A and B are shown apart, each in its own frame.
Chain A
Amino acid sequence: MSALPVPSRPVGEVILAVENIALAFGGVKALSDVSFDVRESEIRAIIGPNGAGKSSMLNVINGVYHPQQGQVRFKGEVRRRMDPHHAASQGIARTFQNIALFKGMSVLDNIMTGRNLKMRSTLLEQALWWGRSRREELEHREKVEHIIDFLQIEHIRKTPVGRLPYGLQKRVELARALAAEPVLLLLDEPMAGMNVEEKQDMCRFILDVNDEFGTTIVLIEHDMGVVMDISDRIVVLDYGRKIADGYPAEVRSNQAVIDAYLGVAH
């Protein structure tokens, strides 16, 4: 995988800053005093051993969890309401560690649901397939077709998601997240459970998304080869604390990281 050329993207200003986040479930401290920032158009990885608080961190960014302390600043604005709908309307989309698609629906329909927030016509108009709903659906369908083309899933357009192999379901989930035209894309273990070839494809797609649309990406991943190759900067969490933050080369040689996560053998 080291053969993948990482293009030199112009990385911009800080788009997301999480500041002094502390999150606890009763007595369990999931996150304590974690701060880091994400710059525009960068690929930012969050790594750490199981239970380090990575998914919790994504859920905080995404507005699902309400941290007891700290704040999330997105596009220069401190978030007041912690609510996924609000986060989504601000341009944050995500995929899940365990695939969360509508199994009985076709790939196309699943991706169309990603356009939900962009639809302006009323329920009645949509039910009657009348007026602007008709025009709107054509526009949305075109956007979705571009994504289908982008992720090369033309051949499964009409297939119910439940019948697809795991690797393709992951790709459909990415497609649905992209359909929302996100500014910030959160990927929770996009390559878990994939074989080498599927991983290579997914890497290529993540880089392409970042490259083609300038989408900022925060991803959680366990495959160190992948993380080191595709991310611009890496945050390392352990037991809910940040133990390192920096460029891949720095993180790789950081003794605390080696001890906590990579293991001495690496």
Chain B
Amino acid sequence: MSAAAPAAHPADTFPRLLLEHARARASRTSIREKDLGIWQSWTWAQVLEETRALALGLTSLGFARGESLAIIGDNRPQLYWAMAAAQCLGGVPVPLYQDAVAEEMIYILDDADIRVAVVEDQEQVDKLLEVKARLPKLEHIVYEDPRGMRHYTQPFLHRYAQIQARGRAIHGDHPGLFEREVMQGRSGDVAIMLYTSGTTGKPKGVRHTHASLIAAARGGCEFDRLGPQDEILSYLPMAWVGDNLFSYAQALVAGFTINCPESSDTVMTDLREIGPTYYFAPPRVFENLLTQVTIRMEDASQVKRGLFNYFLGVARRCGAQILDRKPGVSAKDRLLYALGNLLVYGPLRNVLGMSRIRVAYTAGAAIGPDLFRFYRSIGINLKQLYGSTETCAYVCLQPDGQIKLDSVGLPAPGVEVKIADDGEVLVKSQAMLFDYHKRPDATAEVFDAHGYFRTGDAGFFDQDGHLKIIDRAKDVGRLRNGAVFAPNYIENKLKFFAYIKEAVAFGHERDMVCAFVNIDLGAVGNWAERRSIAYSGYTDLAGRPEVYQLIQDCVEQVNAELAADPMVADSQIHRFLILHKELDPDDDELTRTRKVRRGFIAQKYAPLVEALYGGKRSCFIQTEVKFEDGRRGIISADLRIQDAKVHPRHEPRDPQRAADAQRAVA
């Protein structure tokens, strides 16, 4: 096919970007997938051919401009091509979470008016067949993997390869058709619809245009200098905005190679084989990897373990500074670090599949300081970002060399971030949602009078202009002196200690912050055993003076960290107690996803809260508990209440900016 003239048609939509890559780097690898134990690859020219075949084939099912195409399955090249094919025809791909049960899919398929669905395999076909009777609009299902499908005779089921064959025939008869379709696309057209998780109410379809996604992708690529030489492993759900940005939008903007794992169970092996240069994972993945390393090191020989521990000590001392090219590392440390890199860090990065990583990101949940420091100290450029489905996961990014543990970085290029009077983070950028599908009310609600998007998160800028997210805006309260009180922020800080399993902070409309603490029975039990402290169970261990001392040290460390930051210095924990029982979803104290139900707990343990604020030294409490087998019992204890040392506020380095920040929140 003839290449598009770049001047007449700038590559401002994804299909045109695809044409551009197929012209400029036709024989370079665009996508890989491990199949039958071997990495199979497709060049940009092949990807264009496959996409074109599918797109034209879809026209034979009547798929037309403006229509939505459901895409359900694991990260497979054929499904990424389906996204591109829909966009080529001016349609809107709607990726769904592949592990959702059929019932959960009904709402989205109906809301998005899905007529044609492209799915991975028999498993997904079965799910759709199960609910098809309740989806009158669904007319065609295209499946990629024919395995097990031999006896499905329904006329509305089509093989992906058959649809592509039809498309190839159409292309033979009408050679210019595909390109004409692509050229009709406008950058202001809706390019994708992603559904929010719907934790509060029904899921909402967030619609993005080509322009907004390309703006986010281009900004990110330039920020981290991503180019055609980069590699990424695409293993996170296609329905998630992050995968859409990293594995689709950025890949098409920068022209880098995406790699699809063999199956969801082989991701770690595949990661090692590919050795990506660009990587994203939620904190729990990094945590699991570190746990595996720790366990395996414990089984290693004494010499290896000694080396590992010694050089990890060196890395802890100077690794992060060396990574950030900061001055102040002694020549001796530099030499030791180089040696450690040869003996420990290099091989370790190799085992983790991170030898070639230039940029790694984590987001989605708070990452523990030890975890974050560990990866950075062994030379992996792990950074954090902040964003949401509505903002294309593109609001704040941490620049190389300016990494702070508890900030999410500086506003990304082209993004304007400000803090509302009530502390809510507001965002304005090109990479903003077009609207919520069929929900003008919701769309109107999320934008303020000046066109800023309300993130629903509360945060503030620190002295260096880095954004810190402290909590959901609706959870943020005020101390009686007017200072911001962000319970989640304080609780997370406490929970980063291995000894603390749960924490509940109080302080809204109070003079000071106090907290309940749950110890982690495993970690504290282990600690107690090593000190020959005998205990009979959770309640007994939680009441030990030694344990109180241990937790007090943790609380006071948190206080020191809070004191260093003028915004939250007033939130230092003055008094705390260790609860006599573990907070439990069965007793309604936690949600099923293990979030603390602060209001309920404050009510249930009202005498304890009063004792904390009433200056008592101890308090007797009796609590009914539900056991796993449904029996009920009573736990009672005389709880000690401990005072923690509170630090005076540190003077801010830049009084003017701190004052500004103060004003912004006040």
Task: Say whether A155 faces chain B, with CB atoms less than 8 Å apart.
Answer: yes
Task: Say whether B147 faces chain A, with CB atoms less than 8 Å apart.
Answer: yes
Judging by beta carbons under 8 Å apart, are A7 and B263 in contact?
no
A-B pairs with beta carbons under 8 Å apart, 7 shown: A7-B151, A148-B37, A149-B36, A154-B266, A155-B265, A208-B148, A212-B147
A150 CA / B146 CA spacing, docked (Å): 12
A155 CA / B150 CA spacing, docked (Å): 26
Task: Say whether A142 faces chain B, with CB atoms less than 8 Å apart.
Answer: yes
Chain B 159-183, CB within 8 Å of chain A: the 1/0 string? 0000000000000000000000000
Q: How far is the CB of A3 from chain B (nearest CB, A)?
A: 10
Judging by beta carbons under 8 Å apart, are B151 and A145 in contact?
no
Contact of A142 among B36, B148, B151, B266 (CB under 8 A): B36
- The A-contacting residues of B in range 253-294, CB under 8 angstroms, are 262-263, 265-266, 269
Q: Say yes or no: A211-B269 contact (C-beta < 8 A), given A148-B37, A154-B263.
A: no
Q: How far is the CB of A111 from chain B (nearest CB, A)?
A: 12
Given contacts A154-B266, A155-B262, 4 further A-B contacts (CB under 8 A): A141-B37, A149-B35, A155-B263, A158-B269
A-B Cβ contacts below 8 A, count: 36
Chain A 215-230, CB within 8 Å of chain B: the 1/0 string? 0000000000000000
Residues of A within 8 A of B150 (CB): 7, 211-212
Judging by beta carbons under 8 Å apart, are B265 and A212 in contact?
no
A250 CA / B38 CA spacing, docked (Å): 49
Q: Say yes or no: A155-B266 contact (C-beta < 8 A), given A145-B36, A145-B37.
A: yes
Q: How far is the CB of A139 from chain B (nearest CB, A)?
A: 12
Judging by beta carbons under 8 Å apart, are B36 and A8 in contact?
no
Q: How far is the CB of A119 from chain B (nearest CB, A)?
A: 19
Judging by beta carbons under 8 Å apart, are B265 and A154 in contact?
yes
Residues of B within 8 A of A158 (CB): 269
Q: How far is the CB of A214 from chain B (nearest CB, A)?
A: 11
Q: How far is the CB of B582 from chain A (nearest CB, A)?
A: 28
Task: Say whether A152 faces chain B, with CB atoms less than 8 Å apart.
Answer: yes
Judging by beta carbons under 8 Å apart, are B263 and A152 in contact?
yes
Residues of A within 8 A of B147 (CB): 150, 208, 212
Among all A-B residue pairs, the 5 with the closest Cβ atoms: A155-B265, A145-B36, A7-B151, A155-B266, A145-B37
Interface centre among B36, B262, B263 (most CB of A within 10 A): B36
Task: Say whether A157 faces chain B, with CB atoms less than 8 Å apart.
Answer: yes
A32 CA / B38 CA spacing, docked (Å): 52
Task: Say whether A163 faces chain B, with CB atoms less than 8 Å apart.
Answer: no
- The A-contacting residues of B in range 549-578, CB under 8 angstroms, are none
Q: How far is the CB of A204 from chain B (nearest CB, A)?
A: 8
- The A-contacting residues of B in range 132-157, CB under 8 angstroms, are 147-148, 150-151
Residues of A within 8 A of B262 (CB): 154-155
Judging by beta carbons under 8 Å apart, are B151 and A8 in contact?
yes
Task: Say whether A146 faces chain B, with CB atoms less than 8 Å apart.
Answer: yes
Q: How far is the CB of B368 from chain A (nearest CB, A)?
A: 28
Judging by beta carbons under 8 Å apart, are B36 and A146 in contact?
yes
Q: How far is the CB of B74 from chain A (nearest CB, A)?
A: 12
Residues of B within 8 A of A208 (CB): 147-148
A8 CA / B153 CA spacing, docked (Å): 12
Residues of A within 8 A of B151 (CB): 5, 7-8, 211
Chain B 10-47, CB within 8 Å of chain A: the 1/0 string? 00000000000000000000000001111000000000
Judging by beta carbons under 8 Å apart, are B148 and A155 in contact?
no
Q: In the complex, what residue of chain B is closest to A158 when comparing beta carbons?
A: B269
Residues of B within 8 A of A154 (CB): 37, 262-263, 265-266
Q: Say yes or no: A212-B148 contact (C-beta < 8 A), given A142-B36, A145-B36.
A: yes
Residues of B within 8 A of A142 (CB): 36
A152 CA / B147 CA spacing, docked (Å): 12
A149 CA / B269 CA spacing, docked (Å): 16
Residues of A within 8 A of B269 (CB): 155, 158
A31 CA / B68 CA spacing, docked (Å): 64
Chain A 4-42, CB within 8 Å of chain B: the 1/0 string? 010110000000000000000000000000000000000
A77 CA / B35 CA spacing, docked (Å): 41
Interface centre among B35, B37, B38, B266 (most CB of A within 10 A): B37
Q: In the complex, what residue of chain A is closest to B145 when comparing beta carbons?
A: A149
Chain A 184-217, CB within 8 Å of chain B: the 1/0 string? 0000000000000000000000001001100000
